[in-house]
Structure 1
Amino acid sequence: MKSQRRINPVYLAFMVASFMIGVAGALQAPTLSLFLTREVQARPFWVGLFFTINAVAGIVVSMLVAKRSDSVGDRRHIILFCCLMALCNAILFAFTRHYFTLITLGVLLSALASVSMPQIFALAREYIDHSAREAAMFSSVMRAQISLAWVIGPPLSFALALNYGFVTLFMVAAALFFICILLIWFTLPSVPRADSLMHSGGMPISGWRNRDVRLLFIASVTMWTCNTMYIIDMPLYISSTLGLPEKLAGLLMGMAAALEIPVMLLAGYCAKRVGKRNLMLIAVAAGILFYLGLVLFSSRQALLILQLFNAVFIGIIAGIGMLWFQDLMPGRPGAATTMFTNSISTGMILAGLIQGTLSERFGHISIYWLALGLAIASFAMSARVRNV
């Protein structure tokens, strides 16, 4: 039985699809600011505005699509449409250098494209529930594909952009999305919909009416705000405040990303025994220790050791957090997964606004004091969410 599960072609199709979409996204995102600056000749303010509008549009569009995806039609068709929009977006960026076109049509296509990943995870959850299999391990392995994609994607992105140009980079991304379309069309299952709980009294129409969902969303936003502030500020903090080599920032990020993958897999394995709520509390506790360590210690060795706590923090909340949303919103995997991904986007927006202002006025160390406080608040909120 175990060997059959390992070679299940549907499982393999979900893994490959999530990995390839992850790689295509990881090809475009790291060099986007470089593209806007060099190719489009956009000033720093317009680059920042592009990222902000892109994030806000992604949240709005994903919420609208998610609401429809849980009640209407075959979810595969939504995923195919989003991948097609991603393909069109990559082609647009390959051949357009007009800022207004990119910040309007490009942002719209990008927002629609961003829905593909949460919808694949939602379809995976429906498939697992329909086939009566264990969700936590499968979802964690899928989420690990995204982490693996982000280990491979950024170096490849810079290699393609700097050696072959942005046209080649975006056309490679378009080719990957085309392959994804074929893969999804021919291999991913069409899962019959269960009777909607939205009309049966089992679940309110809006997840926001559920106190636990609201608390978890706010807690998740807080967690991702901490993480994004750290990612933005850490290279500056290491070089300008601690006086350590700039290359250490890359080593710390790479080490954390590498450690996250086994943490995700271990969390998926332990989820049924330990419980999702307990795992999330362990993760946020590790986050508290991580940010406390950043405040107290400044040596190279200490920063390297602290990455273990960072990996436990992010590795668990990235996989188990999504499952907790899905468990709290039964029958609505699309809306639940989108709430989780929107909490990440919202955290990124808040982090971008906070980091620049705080570090300029109070110094880089203030970022980590704030992150420590936010992590403690997140732990308190997560502890109040019911176990499912």
Structure 2
Amino acid sequence: MRWFLTKGRRLNRVYVAFMLVSFMMGIAGALQAPTLSLFLSREVGARPVWVGLFYTVNAIAGIGVSLWLARRSDRQGDRRKLIMFCCLMAIGNALLFAFNRHYLTLITCGVLLASIANTAMPQVFALAREYADRSAREVVMFSSVMRAQLSLAWVIGPPLAFTLALNYGFTTMFLIAAGIFAVSLTLIAFSLPSVERLEQPADMAITEVSGWKDKNVRLLFIASTLMWTCNTMYIIDMPLWISSELGLPDTLAGLLMGTAAGLEIPAMLLAGYYVKRFGKRRMMVTAVMSGVLFYLGLNLFHTREALLLLQLFNAVFIGIIAGIGMLWFQDLMPGRAGSATTLFTNSISTGVILAGVIQGGLAESFGHHTVYWAIAALSVVTLGMTMRVKDV
């Protein structure tokens, strides 16, 4: 990994700092997200409909706030200072959830703080892209390794979150998350660089900043949204489907998620290594094809061994689109790394909103098996749209 070394063959401390920040912030996020519905239900006493409303409001607010901050970050100011501000909001959000159990406070103040806090990670990736470009380093492999840190965080985070929440209480869990964000803030302040950027004209239209006028950006955003809709529908429905319709052990759901997250890491690293040879478009098309095979396989094979084997296709699908997808947005929107990265993360948020509505409606009206045929059909549509986006 030559890009990890300076010209004198010494370890590049800036790159190590980027890795540590992405891993630690990933861990902090992975402590909070998996247990949120359990927290709202048990600690706050929210009914299922209010739990669902919280997720919807949180996702919609996150899209609006992150787009606004991304637009400002690409025009002016020090991106590192914005990341520090977002990290400070993340600390405040974790402390609020640690000591507050009032639903209206959490869905207003909590959602606002979370929306700002969640902008930190795409801004870290945008800063990393700008730093790599300025220092003439390998961008794709560096970004892939950073994405792998998030996958590793999600292998470790969810089991740790449930252990802390169930054995020591949610207050302890959120306080630990706040502490990790505080350490991340210190690393950002003293280890990450400030990168000088070209200012965008103040009167530039939002459609120009976001790249929405570009047909390829629009196609990629819609395709990426559908990719994450498929993935989120699977994550929401799979634990229920396994226990209620397949009659398999509840613990299998956690094993499948952990297996997929673990396999995503080599998938991301291999994608970063081979992307120069095959190109981003071909790699993304391969990923979506793997997703189609995965979702079709879920409809056809229902044994424990088959479901575990299918996770290989799931890992290739998610591992590639999580890393290469973001870089494809950035390449289609040169000079607007913040907006491009945020557009990618907002495709994930939009996918979450769509997935909750579609999965809930289908499972309620037609049963869980219908969800997987719908996911398979969506993945085929996604494949067609991805093939129409130009390579860069």
Please give the alpha-carbon distance, in whole angstroms, between the structure 2 residues aligned to 1:240 and 1:7: 51
Q: 1:133, CA displacement in angstroms?
A: 1.3
Distance 1:36 1:195, change over 3 A: closer
| Matched ranges for 1:162-311 at <5 A | 162-194=166-198, 196=200, 204-311=208-315
- Structure-1 residue corresponding to 2:116: 112
Point out the more displaced range, 36-45 or 347-356. Answer: 36-45
The one-letter code of the counterpart of 2:289 is A
Q: How many residues align?
A: 387
CA contact (8 A) 2:227 2:351 kept: yes
Which deviations, in whole Å up to 9, do the C-alpha atoms of 1:13-51 show, x marking residues without a partner? 000001111111111111111221222122222111111
SS at match of 1:30: coil
Please give the alpha-carbon distance, in whole angstroms, between the structure 1 residues aligned to 2:309 and 2:172: 39
- Structure-2 residue corresponding to 1:4: 5
The one-letter code of the counterpart of 2:326 is M
The one-letter code of the counterpart of 1:90 is A
1:345 equivalent in alignment to 2:344: no
1:365 equivalent in alignment to 2:366: no
- Structure-2 residue corresponding to 1:142: 146
Distance 1:259 1:181, change over 3 A: same
Q: 1:199, CA displacement in angstroms?
A: 8.5
SS at match of 1:205: helix
Please give the alpha-carbon distance, in whole angstroms, between the structure 2 residues aligned to 1:8 and 1:197: 34
Work out the percentage of aligned pairs sharing the same amino acid: 68
SS at match of 2:212: helix
CA contact (8 A) 2:209 2:336 kept: no
- Structure-2 residue corresponding to 1:157: 161
How high is the TM-score relative to the length of structure 1?
0.96
Which deviations, in whole Å up to 9, do the C-alpha atoms of 1:334-375 show, x marking residues without a partner? 000001000011101111111111012222121111111111
- Which residue of the other structure, out of 131, 134, 157, is the alignment partner of 1:130? 134
1:78 equivalent in alignment to 2:79: no
Distance 1:92 1:195, change over 3 A: closer
How high is the TM-score relative to the length of structure 2?
0.95
Q: 1:290, CA displacement in angstroms?
A: 0.7
Q: 1:206, CA displacement in angstroms?
A: 3.5
CA contact (8 A) 1:267 1:279 kept: yes
Please give the alpha-carbon distance, in whole angstroms, between the structure 2 residues aligned to 1:278 and 1:377: 17
Please give the alpha-carbon distance, in whole angstroms, between the structure 2 residues aligned to 1:306 and 1:56: 32
Please give the alpha-carbon distance, in whole angstroms, between the structure 1 residues aligned to 2:201 and 2:266: 35
> Is there any run of 5+ residues in structure 2 with no aligned partner, and where?
none
- Which residue of the other structure, out of 96, 102, 105, is the alignment partner of 1:98? 102
> Is there any run of 5+ residues in structure 1 with no aligned partner, and where?
none
Q: 1:194, CA displacement in angstroms?
A: 3.2
Please give the alpha-carbon distance, in whole angstroms, between the structure 1 residues aligned to 2:180 and 2:50: 29
Q: 1:69, CA displacement in angstroms?
A: 0.6
